[in-house]
Amino acid sequence: MVRQTPWIEVYPLKDLGGRFPLRIVNSNARVSLNKELSDYCDVQWKPKAKKGWKSSWLAFAKNLKYSFDGEGMLAKVDVGAMPFFQDDGIVKSIEENQPFAPEQGYVNSLSVGFLTATKDGYVIFQRRAPDVHCPNILIHEPCGYMASMAFAPRAECDLEKYAGDERLFDLKTQYEFRRNEIAKTFGVSPESVFYDSSQDLLAAGWMTKEMYFSTTGKIDVKKSELALPENQEVFFVPFEQVKDLIYNQSRLSKVDANGYRPSDAREIPLIDESLIGLIYGYEKMTGDKLDVKDTIARLNRGGMDIRVHPVWGEDDFGAEYQFQTSF
């Protein structure tokens, strides 16, 4: 069943006292698919495989457990590995509202990214290409799957040995790959790109249809000094306009992005990953205040459904959340 409102599920990794220490543990789990979904994924993948696509291994979240050690909250995420072709097919099945698609509305493959600001106070976005899911919306630079392609040669990134490689589940490995990517994209040195290794949240949403960690970063270069990549639409949103961009998303989340191409970046729909990352990372990135709770309530009053899951369970024990491994 397709959810009727734009939604985001948020598992916070910080509170007013700061970020929680995060542990990512490989449980060697794998996903299992029912026959209809498995056959569908195979059919969807065949033409892509013929074009030379590679089914890189992806990390996926199995469960999240919060605990309190007497001094502060800790968060542990148990993860496993799945091939990209399965993730790709599952996302497509959700987009098409297939009867065998996961009812939760997303697959729990994991991505990482950091909302990046320039030295002179602009947040960097790109408009998604028309040939990917959720086209013509804004997504932050850089971001992408926690994937074996981040460290393995492309020709062999789908080999079984990489499914258990600890680099697949290591945030530093995955973020360093993104750091180098954005440096190359804008013609700057990797040393000028910084990111905060502490994560703000784990989430999933109606546009990405996948899960993601989120934090913020910076390019220690002015906007005017960046080389703009060819064949990509890049937007630089000044800090003073970012709140408007956030607040507009209740209305913009209902806009059909096909053929909708305003020049004002404040009027472009954000992918859910960028929206929730902006909300939680806004103060850290801009130095300005933004009340996270009030902002989410404001967006929800406008017709969104952003659910922030509690870190505490019953009897003052840390909450625990299980994610699907069978679809």
> Each residue of 100-159: pLDDT tens digit?
999 999 999 999 999 999 999 999 999 877 666 667 788 898 999 999 999 999 999 999
Distance (Å, rounded) from C-alpha 184 to C-alpha 273? 23
- Selection from 321, 318, 327, 125 nearest residue 209 by Cα: 327
Which region among 59-73, 79-93, 288-302 has the lowest average model confidence (pLDDT)? 59-73
Task: Note the pLDDT of residue 17.
Answer: 66
Whether residue 309 is predicted with pLDDT greater than 90 in this model: the reply is: yes
Specify whether the CB–CB gap between 185 and 159 falls below 8 A: no
Whether the predicted pLDDT of 77 surpasses 90: yes
Domain span at 304: 14-322
Instruction: Give pLDDT tens digits for 223-253.
Output: 999 999 888 889 999 999 999 999 999 999 9
CB under 8 Å to 26, separation ≥6 — which residues? 79, 80, 81, 164, 166, 168, 169
Confidence at 260, pLDDT banded by 50, 70, 90: confident
Residue 314 has pLDDT above 90, yes or no: no
Residue 138: predicted pLDDT: 83
3-class DSSP assignment, residue 272: helix
Domain assignment present for 8 = no
pLDDT the model gives residue 16: 65
Q: Is residue 9 part of a domain?
A: no
The per-residue pLDDT for range 153-197, each reduced to its tens digit, is 999 999 999 999 999 999 999 999 999 999 999 999 999 999 999
- Side chain identity, residue 125: F
- Residue type at position 201: L
Q: What pLDDT does 229 receive?
A: 87
Amino acid at position 91, single letter: V
Establish if 6 belongs to a structural domain: no
DSSP H helical segments within the chain, as ranges? 35-50, 84-95, 171-185, 239-247, 249-252, 272-286, 292-301
* Structure-block tokens of residue 229: 């990549």
Q: Which of 80, 81, 77 is nearest to 24 (CA)?
A: 77
Question: Using 50, 70 and 90 to split pLDDT, how confident is the model at 3?
Answer: confident
327 part of a folded domain: no
For the chain, what percent of residues have pLDDT higher than 90? Answer: 82
Is residue 225 a part of any domain in this protein? yes
Q: How many domains does the chain have?
A: 1
Q: Which of 5-41 are b and which e, b meaning 16 or more Cβ less than 10 Å from the residue's Cβ?
A: ebbbbbbbbbeeeebbebebebeebebebeeebeebb
In a domain, 52, yes or no: yes
Quote the mean pLDDT of the chain. 93
Here the CATH number for the domain that contains residue 62 is 3.90.79.10
300 lies in a domain? yes
